[in-house]
Structures are given as C-alpha cells and as structure tokens.
Amino acid sequence: MPEKKLYVGTRKGLFIFERNGAGYELVRSSHLGIPVQNTLFDMRTGRLWALLDHGHWGQKLSRSSDDGKTWEEIESPKYPDGEMVNDDTAATMRLIWVAATGSKDQPGRVYLGTEPGGLFQSDDDGESFELVRSLWEHPSRKSWFGGGRDQAAIHSILVDPRNHDRVLVGVSCAGVFETTDAGKTWAVRNKGLRADFLPDPNSEVGQDPHVVVAAPSDFDTLWQQNHCGIFVSKDGGMNWADVTTDGPANFGFAVAVHEKRPQTAWVVPAVSDECRIAVDGKMVVCRTDDYGRTWTEHRKGLPQKDCYDVTFRHALDVSGDELAFGTTTGNLFVSGDGGESWAAQGNYLPPVYSVHFHRG
Amino acid sequence: MARVQFTRHLSRYFPDLEQNVEIEGNTVAQIVSGLDSRFPGLAAYIVDDQGALRQHVNIFIGNELIRDRKRLGDEVRADDSVYVLQALSGG
C-alpha cells in the first residue's frame, strides 16, 4: 500500500503529515512564519513545490527534492515589461495561486496560475517561465476582475491526461477557459453558469468559479464550486448544470471528486458571500453520488457548536475513500470512509490554505 | 560609496548579508542593482517584478523615506547611509 501523506500549506508555513496507525501525525514543517499558498508534488520528478506569498518580500517559488527536508529557491516568473492589467494598472506579480504539471509525456512542463490573471509555462522544470500570451491576450482579459482579491487570478489548471494539448483554467472573476490546440487559442466555457453579482447573470465572461476540478476517471466530467452555487459539466465544460440545493450544498470554496467515480463529489459549505462562516455554527461536508441530483450531509466527528471555520478552495482533497480538509481556524480533518465520519488530526494549525494528498 | 544597512529579517534568506555594505551608485535603483550583483536574488526581495519597491518594504536615505517608489530614482550621494527596512504590517 502506498505511503499516505498530506501536504498542508498554511499562513505560517508548510506542514507534512504522515499516516501513523489510524491517524496522521505531523512529521515535518518548513518555511515557518511564511505564508505557503499552495503546494505541488510532481510525480515525474519527485519534487515538492511550495508557492510562497511573503508578506514583505513578494512571491517566491521553493522546491525540494527530498520531500521537504531541504529546499532551494528558484526565480519566480515576471510579468514582461509594459504588460498592463487594464488601461491604468501595470501588471505585477501579486500571487502565485496554483501550480500544475504537464502530462507524463511532457517532461519539464509546469504551469503556474497567478494574480493578476497570467498563466505561466515552464518547459525546464521551473528554471524559466514564460507568460502564456495567447490567454493573456484573450479579447476578454482586460475585463476580468478580482473576486475576493484586488485583481483577477487563475486558481485552477487542468491538463487533460489523454491529450496534453487540452488545458482548462479557472479564473476569478472571468470563468473557465479551454484550449484544445496547446494554447494557441482559448475558448470561454461558461455556458450554464450564472453570476448573480452582475447586471447580466448570464454574462459570457465575469463568472466566478471558486475552483474547478476534473474527475480523474473521466476528464470530461468537471465540477466547480462557484460563488453562486455548485455546477457540474458532463461534456468537458461545454455546458454546465446547476446542482445547487436549498440546503447547505450551496456556497463554498472547495470541491473534490472521487478518483474512480465521476458522479461522486464533496463540498464543504459555508454561509454565503456576506458572512463566509460555517453554516449555523456547525461544520458539514456534503456528498453526492449522482452528479449532484441529491446531496447528503455528513457531520460525524465535525464540530457542531460554535464553529466558524471555512475551507478554502485548495484545502480539500480526496485519495481513494480517504478525504482531508483544512480550515481557516487551523483545523485539519480526515475521513477514511468517503466523508461519512471525520477525525481531527490537528486543531491548532495556522489558517490552512491548501491540503493535498501525496501522489507518488 | 554609500553604506547600506538592512533589516535583520533579510538575513534569514541571505545569511551572508552583512551590515554596512558599501555599494556604488547615484540612485536607489543603482544601489539595488549593485546589491543584487553582490547578493544574487536580493533585489527580488526588495522590489517587485517590475522594479518598484515592494509595498511593505521601505528604503530610507539618511532619515528620509525615498519618494520614488516606482523607479527608485532618488539621488544617493557617496556619503549617504541607506536603510532597507521592513514596513510594519501583517500579523
């Protein structure tokens, strides 16, 4: 059985947990005091990446070849001179929000999603990065805007394992964009989404996917937790169906999909927009096994009183029937039974930004 | 040559960074460039990818905060003391 391990990026460093018996224990920490926005384990190279958001010193990339024991800093990508966010604002690197590898037959390919909306690409394992100009120069790009942040940002990057020329990105706020020709052209994939915060909720661009994930077993099944609900696509993003409920499965940030069953997904709901706290002061995970037609609530082992935790968009992950999520209040919960019951593995972590299972 | 002093917080990332580094340059931008040659990567901690002073970093010439945070064009004289400090922010 492969080793079970969790990478937990927090406001105050990276924490690595390993399975020990029935639970997980903290075995290593790094970058203490530094916000670790996200992590990436590259199965092709065995390298672990940490995306750092120094409060003072800017955005940095840190890389480890020994699973976090030692780290090297590599040069962060730069927006080319003269690039503008809009007519008034020069583009500067404000956040490296997500990293993704290319497919197995693309050695060295790494993508970074950033604020103010640039996708960067490396073909030498991060030694150098280039702005993906085709997306940056998309006719809609200067109309993108920030959702919860000052400027638009790419938070989701999905590389189709069947065809690496097909890549989808999720942008807050703009929506989902897809290339099928290795980044030469990009198409908007927002049909069926709605943006209740816009004068025209059905606007082609301006949607706010909080995160977009693809089913590992069927890359044409895509899920997104959106600012305005939960949406699923069974045709690779061409059409989205609203599967939001009147119950708690509504507002939130994170969504995860089962590795083998594309119809099974989980969300960690919060009270909407204005509040962003746990629903009724109680933590709940909702699960669907039928593409979102119905959702079940799971609370066993989760706090059901005086709880104000929220789970951010990269802070929920699934591996087999095991799930893990972290919260803004520094709790880390793990489930071994598909999300039906949970156990806290840490209650005193810094605010959690990302949780990822090791995939080796 | 101007003498440059640093917030101690930078020594976490640049352990070899000594205080009172002497650097040649007529502007703050030239000083930062000179520092980066001496301590590769240091400039990226002080200025952003467009060369502007990072929001939470301050540079003083003597007791005066520099005025040009965007292009770092403030004049530096040979006998000046330059301070690269961390602004107070965050939690």
CATH code of the domain in which B47 resides:
3.10.20.30
Percent of chain A with pLDDT over 70: 99
Q: Is the pLDDT of residue A337 over 70?
A: yes
Residue B72 lies in a domain: yes
From B70, which residue of chain A is nearest by alpha-carbon distance?
Answer: A90
- Residue A47 sits at φ, ψ, to 5 deg, of -90, 145
Task: With H, G, I as helix, E, B as strand and everything else as coil, classify residue A242.
Answer: strand
Confidence of residue A360 (pLDDT cuts 50, 70, 90): confident
pLDDT of residue A1: 46
Q: Tokens for B31, please give them.
A: 């000083």
Neighboring chain B residues of A60 at a CB cutoff of 8 Å: 44
Residue A166: in which H helix or E strand, if any? none
How far CA B46 is from CA of A312, A357, B9, B41, in Å, comes to 29, 34, 12, 9
User: B15 at the A interface (CB within 8 A)?
Assistant: no
Residue A17 near residue A344 (C-beta atoms within 8 A): no
Residue A250 near residue A268 (C-beta atoms within 8 A): no
DSSP codes of every residue in A176-231: EEEESSTTS--EE--TT---TTSSSTT-SS-B-EEEEEEETTEEEEEEEEETTEEE
DSSP codes of every residue in A131-164: E-HHHHT-TTGGG---SSSSS-EEEEEEE-TT-T
C-alpha–C-alpha distance, residues A240 and A250, integer Å = 15
From B46, which residue of chain A is nearest by alpha-carbon distance?
Answer: A57
Q: Which residues contact A338 (CB under 8 A, 6 or more apart)?
A: A264, A287, A321, A323
User: Which tens digit of pLDDT belongs to each residue from A126-181?
Assistant: 999 999 999 999 999 999 999 878 899 999 999 999 999 999 999 999 999 999 99
Residue A328 near residue A351 (C-beta atoms within 8 A): yes
Confidence of residue A196 (pLDDT cuts 50, 70, 90): confident
Q: Which residues contact B63 (CB under 8 A, 6 or more apart)?
A: none
Residue B89 and residue A81: Cβ atoms within 8 Å? no
Mean pLDDT of A316-337: 97
Mean pLDDT of A226-233: 96
Mean pLDDT of B31-50: 96
Q: Give this complex's ipTM.
A: 0.77
Neighboring chain B residues of A93 at a CB cutoff of 8 Å: 48-49
C-alpha–C-alpha distance, residues A308 and A312, integer Å = 13
Confidence of residue A117 (pLDDT cuts 50, 70, 90): very high
How far CA A220 is from CA of A23, A96, A166, A200, A223, in Å, comes to 34, 27, 11, 28, 10
pLDDT of residue A198: 84
| CA A288 to chain CA mean position, Å | 20
Average pLDDT of chain A is: 95
User: B41 at the A interface (CB within 8 A)?
Assistant: yes
User: B85 at the A interface (CB within 8 A)?
Assistant: no
Q: Give the A-side interface with B, CB within 8 Å.
A: 54-58, 60, 73, 75-79, 81, 90-93
Residue that is written with structure tokens 């082609």 in the block? A204
Q: What angle do CA A286, A288, A292 make, to 5 degrees?
A: 110
Residue B91 lies in a domain: no
User: B65 at the A interface (CB within 8 A)?
Assistant: no
Closest chain A C-alpha to B7 CA, distance in angstroms: 11
C-alpha–C-alpha distance, residues B52 and A25, integer Å = 42
Q: Tokens for A98, please give them.
A: 């997500």
User: Which tens digit of pLDDT belongs to each residue from B65-83?
Assistant: 899 999 999 999 999 999 9
User: B70 at the A interface (CB within 8 A)?
Assistant: no
H helix runs in chain A, sequence order? 133-136
Of B13, B50, B56, which is closest to A92 when you measure between CB atoms? B50
Q: Is the pLDDT of residue A245 over 80?
A: yes
pLDDT of residue A276: 84
Q: Tokens for A148, please give them.
A: 């919860």
From B45, which residue of chain A is nearest by alpha-carbon distance?
Answer: A57
Mean pLDDT of A86-94: 92
Q: Is the pLDDT of residue A279 over 90?
A: no
Residue B7 lies in a domain: yes
Residue A77: in which H helix or E strand, if any? none
Residue B12 lies in a domain: yes
Closest chain B C-alpha to A94 CA, distance in angstroms: 9
Top residue of B12, B36, B47, B49 to mutate, by most chain A CBs within 10 Å, is B49
pLDDT of residue B91: 52
Residue A57 and residue B54: Cβ atoms within 8 Å? yes
User: Which tens digit of pLDDT belongs to each residue from A5-49?
Assistant: 999 999 999 999 999 988 999 999 999 999 999 999 999 999 999
Report the candidate in A35, A38, A41 with the shortest Cα–Cα distance to residue A358: A41
Neighboring chain A residues of B15 at a CB cutoff of 8 Å: none
User: B16 at the A interface (CB within 8 A)?
Assistant: no
C-alpha–C-alpha distance, residues A240 and A225, integer Å = 12
Q: DSSP code of A85?
A: S
Q: What angle do CA A167, A172, A175 make, to 5 degrees?
A: 50
Task: With H, G, I as helix, E, B as strand and everything else as coil, classify residue B40.
Answer: coil
Residue B70 lies in a domain: yes
Residue B36 lies in a domain: yes
Residue A75 and residue B90: Cβ atoms within 8 Å? no
Number of domains in chain B: 1
Domain span holding position B62: 2-86
Residue A244 near residue A229 (C-beta atoms within 8 A): yes
The better pLDDT of the pair B10, B90 is held by B10
Neighboring chain B residues of A54 at a CB cutoff of 8 Å: 45
